[in-house]
Amino acid sequence: MLTIVWDVDDVLNDLMLQWFHHAWKPEHPECTLSFDDLLHNPPHKILGTEREDYLASMDQFRRTGRGLELTPNPGILDWFVQHGQTFRHIALTARPLETAPDVAAWVMRHFGTWIRCFGVVPSRANGGAPVYDRSKIDFLKWLGCGDILVDDADENIRDAVSLGMRTFQIAQPWNKSTLTSAALGSKLSDLAARN
């Protein structure tokens, strides 16, 4: 049985979209950008702010009720309900370590029927915490059992390909992919049928 490694934010949920509409835009009513204008992740330069200010806003949003109760990506959740049992699944996120318990609980609440393993790579130094991995690729090398990576970040996709993994990149404004959740589901179902 093949193992799929799933990115959480902006794949299993729409964190950036929700943050942009419910945190950034209300805090910056002068902002005339749309979500589709966020052509880089992190988007601080496009937003005309410092990286630290963007990160502080995102971290604050993650702790709000809306940030804690994000709706799962409906196309991906539907695929899990219909076909999730045909693969093994791991969730792998890169975010501040102090937010990991909340997102781990979110993953288990919405996808725990299928996802039985959760990994986190701290996205920033956390005073005193040991550094085991500096990137998702380091984690995947250590893990050694992922066959497929589903992610939105160009770097993670490139790195997973270098490990020999199959990859699927969910379309977001900051990447060039056109892969929708529905198309991903079809591709994964086809892959399961061939194995």
Whole-number pLDDT of residue 129: 86
The answer to whether residues 90 and 142 touch, using CB atoms and an 8 Å cutoff, is: no
- Residue 88 has phi, psi (to 5 degrees) of -95, 155
Q: How far apart are CA 180 and CA 105, in angstroms?
A: 25
CA distance 159 to 179: 19
What was the pLDDT predicted at 8? 98
Summarised one tens digit per residue, pLDDT across range 36-46 is 999 999 999 99
Tens digit of each residue's pLDDT (9 = 90 or more) over 119-146: 999 988 777 889 899 999 999 999 999 9
| Fold that domain 3-13+72-194 belongs to in CATH | Rossmann fold (3.40.50)
Q: What is the pTM of this model?
A: 0.96
Q: Where are the domains of the chain?
A: 3-13+72-194, 15-68
Q: How far is CA 61 from the centre of its chain?
A: 16
- Compute the distance between CA of residue 14 and CA of residue 11 in angstroms, rounded to an integer: 7
Q: What is the pLDDT along the chain (195 residues), one digit of tens a residue?
A: 999 999 999 999 999 999 999 999 999 999 999 999 999 999 999 999 999 999 999 999 999 999 999 999 999 999 999 999 999 999 999 999 999 999 999 999 999 999 999 999 998 877 788 989 999 999 999 999 999 999 999 999 999 999 999 999 999 999 999 999 999 999 999 998 887
